[in-house]
Structure 1
Amino acid sequence: MTARHLISLDDLTDADLRSILERGVSYSAGLLRHERPLADTVVGVYFRKTSTRTRTAFSAGSLRLGGQIVSYGPDDLQLNTGETTQDTGEVFSRMLDVLVARTAGDPAELRGWADQERMSVVNAMSADEHPTQALTDLTTLLRHFGRIEGLRVQYVGEGNNTAAALALALARFPGTHLELRTPPGYGLTEDVLRRVARSAALSGASLTEYHHMDRQEGGFDAVYTSRWQTTGTSKPDADWRAVFAPFQVTGELLAQSPAAIFMHDLPAHRGDEVTAAVLDGPRSIAFDQAANKMYSAMAVLEWCRHGITAGTAAPLTEASR
């Protein structure tokens, strides 16, 4: 078996991406409760930075699919005593079937661990991209709307690894539009914008980015935000909060898209990136989104071990939404 790796969304073909999303919806809808594709599989879960949802999602998802887990915290490995990352990866690959790792740093380390064919490596968040969060987000959109194609999403906040992954994923689907409202100096990187543009040129998707909150047009299907202080990072500007203050999702902003759902990758800081009235209001699906992280993780783990071919995901019927 050749290991499949998910370090970036670029590692997925369009068919892989679609199949993982559909499989995640099927798990979320309870249509695959008796599936045990991870029987006889050992999954390592290594988190160098804090995590609630992603760590729990991959741990619980592994167990629900019949796998066993070995969990490591930031102080558990001999990396702390000087062992090289190459030697650590070599040992991992001879004992584990899948490694789910959050480094919050340079993805080159994950690429190094993936330079073998015995063990799959899943990026649970690096500094530049959070691919499993985007898969969760699109699984949530697909579960709610029954489609990704043609959806209009507004993202408000820092152009962080969550925003980068969301942009890279949505750009793969025809007719989607992503509007980003990011504070000046905190937008998407040029590299991400180039990669999004390449995908959008093929799919017919579109992206616009503004560094202000003026001239809002509304009419979005979903409004999304993320915490202002991204895990594992710090702001170079001591007065960054003043720059971020206008980029808050309020009831007034949400009212400009009357049919929109509200999404948040959590953890949330009420009163910063979003008001409590929005996060806890009737249009918020943030906690359903968090629950879908486990179902999306299950689909990713299954893909790593077995792949998911066209037609194996359950059909998207009204009963499954």
Structure 2
Amino acid sequence: MAVTTAEGTRRVISLRDLTDDDLARLVRRGTEFAADPTAHSRPLSGRVVGVYFSKTSTRTRTAFTTGALRLGAQVIAYGPGDLQLNTGETPGDTARVLGGMLDGLVVRTAGDPEELRLFADTGLAVVNAMSSDEHPTQALADLSTLTARFGAVDNLRVLYVGEGNNTATALALGLSRFPGTRVEFRTPEGYGLPAGLLAEARALARDRGGRIAERHDMDDLPERVDVVYTTRWQTTGTTKPDPDWRRGFEPFRVDGDLMGRWPGALFLHDLPAHRGEEVTAEVLDGPSSIAFEQARFKLYSAMAVLEWVMADR
């Protein structure tokens, strides 16, 4: 069963909170909204959604705000300096206050994602819009994008190039749930996926006839690749302790030569992009790139998530 709060309210704090059926439903609903953003009857009419971002955001914050409004909700936006958390109020006390006033809360934080469960425990429908260890709604948008393009996620071959950050962990947890998917993570030494999560994703994939692998070089790349995916080398809201870290990332740039290995492969990027670093402009703006289509799917996926966590409350 889906993970719920004491009041039966759903939440999406991690993709682990979703059953396979939940995940498939949200991905499918995202594609339905992409085909027709008006395919609903304003199911959140009369609801109030808080959108709290303690870190910068363009796509995710806009997607959830727009999505909530289109579904009929009213929105209260909180910036990084707006809540009394900044003056020493505990997350638990803030959660109790917001839980008594709001119906749902979308949160981006660089802190411990377990703090989000304090909000969910008050009865709020809580959505993790990115935390330090996982970006679940990005993965949902990615999976909907792939479904719209390929017809299904099953049996896709994905090459992820770059840092094993919160986007990568969510992608591993998401793709590993679909039968037959094969995902190759190529990450710089010292910047790979967390070992425990990688083992978890490998087990999920193995149970479904798929495969998750990771290497720290760009040698012996797969013969078949349907999708090449990368993210910023400098993850939003983080810094790297090694001042010379860029040297280790250089071999992991996605350029025309790399994409030329698989002429039919699509290129994905969660954005924002730094042209010339993790990806060249010729790739990002080229015919294989669907990065900006992928960005639009963040809205459709946000609508699917908000509808799912709140509409039945």
Give the TM-score category using the shorter length.
over 0.9
Seq. identity, %: 61
Shift of 1:143: 0.7
Q: Confirm or deny: 8 A CA contact 1:219 1:258 kept in the other structure.
A: no
Q: Distance in 1 between matches of 2:51 and 2:223?
A: 40
The 5-angstrom pairing of residues 233-252 of structure 1 reads: 233-252=238-257
Where does residue 314 of structure 1 map in the other structure? none
Shift of 1:195: 1.6
Q: Distance in 1 between matches of 2:256 and 2:293?
A: 20
Aligned pair partner of 2:184 in 179, 184, 190: 179
Q: Distance in 1 between matches of 2:83 and 2:53?
A: 11
Shift of 1:34: 4.5
Aligned to 1:178, the other structure's residue is in SS state: strand
Q: Distance in 2 between matches of 1:246 and 1:35?
A: 49
Q: Confirm or deny: 8 A CA contact 2:32 2:39 kept in the other structure.
A: no
Aligned to 2:251, the other structure's residue is in SS state: coil
Question: Given the alignment of the two structures, is residue 195 of structure 1 paired with residue 203 of structure 2, yes or no?
Answer: no
Question: Given the alignment of the two structures, is residue 91 of structure 1 paired with residue 86 of structure 2, yes or no?
Answer: no
Aligned pair partner of 2:109 in 103, 108, 111: 103
Q: Distance in 2 between matches of 1:272 and 1:3?
A: 42
Q: Distance in 1 between matches of 2:40 and 2:200?
A: 38
Aligned pair partner of 2:309 in 304, 313, 319: 304
Q: Distance in 1 between matches of 2:132 and 2:98?
A: 22
The 5-angstrom pairing of residues 1-321 of structure 1 reads: 2-30=8-36, 32-116=38-122, 118-306=123-311
Q: Distance in 2 between matches of 1:126 and 1:191?
A: 17
TM-score normalised according to structure 2 size? 0.95
For residues 183-217 of structure 1, give each alpha carbon's deviation from its aligned partner in whole angstroms, at most 9, with x where no partner exists: 00000001211220231132112111110111223
67 and 197 in structure 1: CA distance in 2 versus 1, 3 angstrom threshold: same
Aligned to 1:19, the other structure's residue is in SS state: helix
Q: Which runs of structure 1 show a deviation greater than 4 angstroms over 4 or more consecutive aligned residues?
A: none
Q: Which amino acid aligns with 1:163?
A: A
Aligned to 2:121, the other structure's residue is in SS state: coil
Q: Distance in 1 between matches of 2:206 and 2:216?
A: 23
Aligned to 1:24, the other structure's residue is in SS state: helix
For residues 69-118 of structure 1, give each alpha carbon's deviation from its aligned partner in whole angstroms, at most 9, with x where no partner exists: 000000001111111111100011111111000012211211222223x2
In structure 1, stretches of 5+ residues that fail to align are 308-321
Q: Distance in 2 between matches of 1:191 and 1:273?
A: 26
Q: Distance in 1 between matches of 2:36 and 2:287?
A: 24
In structure 2, stretches of 5+ residues that fail to align are 1-6
Aligned to 1:71, the other structure's residue is in SS state: strand
Shift of 1:33: 3.6
Q: Which amino acid aligns with 2:87?
A: T
Shift of 1:175: 0.2
Q: Confirm or deny: 8 A CA contact 1:104 1:231 kept in the other structure.
A: no
Query: More relative contact order in 1 or in 2 (CA 8 Å, sep 6+)?
Result: 1
TM-score normalised according to structure 1 size? 0.93
Shift of 1:245: 0.7
Q: Distance in 2 between matches of 1:177 and 1:201?
A: 10
For residues 154-178 of structure 1, give each alpha carbon's deviation from its aligned partner in whole angstroms, at most 9, with x where no partner exists: 0000000000000100000000010
Q: Distance in 1 between matches of 2:49 and 2:292?
A: 26
